[in-house]
Amino acid sequence: MAARRIYSLLSRVLSSPPASLSPLPTPGSCIYGKRISTRFSTSTTVEELIAPPVEITYTKNLINGHFVDAASGKTFPTYDPRSGEVIAHVAEGNAEDIDRAVSAARKAFDEGPWPKMTAYERSRIMLRFADLIEKHNDEIAALEAWDNGKTYEQAAMLEIPMLARLFRYYAGWADKIHGLTVPADGNYHVQTLHEPIGVAGQIIPWNFPLLMFAWKVGPALACGNTTVLKTAEQTPLSALYVGKLFHEAGLPPGVLNIVSGYGPTAGAALASHMDVDKVAFTGSTGTGKIVLELAARSNLKPVTLELGGKSPFIVCDDADIDKAVEFAHFALFFNQGQCCAAGSRTYVHESVYEEFVAKAKELAMRRVVGDPFKTGVEQGPQIDSEQFKRILKYIRSGIESNATLECGGERFGSKGYFIQPTVFSNVKDDMLIAQDEIFGPVQSILKFKDIDEVIRRANATRYGLTAGVFTKNIDTANTLTRALRAGTVWVNCFNVFDAAVPYGGYKMSGIGREKGIYSLTNYLEVKAVVTPLENPAWL
């Protein structure tokens, strides 16, 4: 079924969905993969919305194992992007709340059991947490879809199972972190110790709230650190819910603290806090610069940044065009286009350009837009009014720059933040839609003549997060993968996010790597221990 192809397209690590999932969509639906039959976006409306089958229970900050009101008593609304209506009011954390959370995390690190616990026991708690994630898959997915606007099927069939997979992956690392013995000149025994860095401040974005939760919290806890996590103000609900499950799994108080609030208040307080030992941030490049500056001006804490992207998706003249069109569509429109890895600059060889554009337009026009809780819907609303208006502004810019609007270009429906899947052809490199990260369902298709030209143009950007290459020629593939200045290059595939594959960017797309073994180094200090040997046995 088409629904099952989501696994091969994104992670290739799940052989089947959890038993607790709702039934798979019936034939005729289309979810990110090959279509079984044609469905048109006009067949789905957003005027009547499905009530998500989940109760909002946790809206307070999670500090030292307890859900507590904000110090100020203030709350802020979180909205349903399908309608713009308020879902719930959430405790609005500020600098005082961050200070309380950091104090709890510091005490849990300095005095508490987590870093002193055996690595095996830490692993067992993380594994129990993963089991609880699977047990509560459907309600977590409903919260994620309701608060974010992503389709329920995407959340339930991909993201929540991947959340469990990521924590199992990091649980497996917990008791395998060890140092080395070092041969040194003279009569010395030298060893290195890999020790937890301390209190980690972590700031996650709204586009993949729980996957970014796992990318941050997983390696930090596996290494024995304690954490203070600030959620995105647009999507606080799912992290608070799974935070409760983590404590149900046996996590000691103070190890994981979650504060919801705004960037200029709670986020800035966390990045600049003198008792935070390390900061990890995912978000825009502009905000990343602010986080880095705040961290440097406080206690010079190390920072990892996963930032923006404007990724090239290169289709060579020998590529399988139908497959390339499908993956280019997926690379751009997945998650409503709200993905930093999105293949948002589609470079197509001039010999196959017209065929590619025609098929890309046809595929976009068949994309199903509507209520993300309806079976078979591929594209839900954008996250909020601000992002909705920003995307429409970029679309107007493309039209005014004389790019050819092949389809879309308008809002979808009369309520909520839905945008029609939009395709531009005849796009030039100097247009804003080819330069800026739009973060929406807008595909820009550019033409190129030869490999040297496309390498130069693909690299002519301040970003360097990901890239896609479609070709049947191994020499072409090798040339492009070596030449492209990007942290990840996918060849004849896209968006493969296995837990073990490192992820991060070149240039202004970030600092450091997340996922895989490389993410552990973000949360460890290396200590050298040197001991003299008075009478070494081998001499």
> Could you tell me which CATH number the domain at 312-491 has?
3.40.309.10
Q: How many angstroms separate the most distant Cα atoms in the chain?
A: 84
Task: Reduce the secondary structure of 145-194 to three states and give it as a string.
Answer: HHHHCCCHHHHHHHHHHHHHHHHHHHHHHHHHCCCCEECCCCCEEEEEEE
**306 in catalytic set:** yes
All structural domains of the chain with their residue ranges:
53-124+175-307+512-524, 312-491
What pLDDT does 53 receive?
84
What pLDDT does 75 receive?
98
Higher pLDDT, 40 or 372: 372
β-strands 466-470, 256-260: how paired? Answer: unpaired
Return the SS3 of 272.
coil
Q: How confident is the model at residue 22 (pLDDT cuts 50, 70, 90)?
A: very low
Give CATH superfamily name and number for 53-124+175-307+512-524.
Answer: Aldehyde Dehydrogenase; Chain A, domain 1 (3.40.605.10)
* 37-96: pLDDT as tens digits: 223 344 456 778 999 988 999 999 999 999 999 999 999 999 999 999 999 999 999 999
What pLDDT does 4 receive?
38
Task: Using CB atoms within 10 Å of the CB of residue 225, give its burial: 0 to 12 exposed, 13 to 18 middle, 19+ buried.
Answer: buried
Task: Name the nearest CA neighbour of 502 among 483, 521, 523.
Answer: 521
Name every residue whose Cβ is closer than 8 Å to that of residue 417 and which is 6 or more positions away in sequence.
81, 82, 84, 149, 381, 382, 383, 384, 385, 387, 388
Name every residue whose Cβ is closer than 8 Å to that of residue 539 and which is 6 or more positions away in sequence.
187
* 223-254: pLDDT as tens digits: 999 999 999 999 999 999 999 999 999 999 99
Which two structure tokens, joined as six digits, stand for 51? Answer: 């009530």
Higher pLDDT, 136 or 23: 136
How many Cβ atoms sit within 10 Å of the Cβ of residue 122? 24
**Of these residues, 306, 326, 406, 514, which one is catalytic?**
306
- pLDDT over 50 (residue 207): yes
- pLDDT over 50 (residue 13): no
- pLDDT over 50 (residue 17): no
Q: How long is the chain?
A: 539
Per-residue DSSP letter, 174: G
Cα 122 from chain centroid (whole Å): 25
d(CA 189, CA 186): 9
What pLDDT does 535 receive?
77
Task: Name the nearest CA neighbour of 17 among 167, 171, 160.
Answer: 160
pTM: 0.91
Query: Which residues are registered as beta bridge partners of 281?
Result: 203, 305
Host H or E run for residue 466: strand 466-470
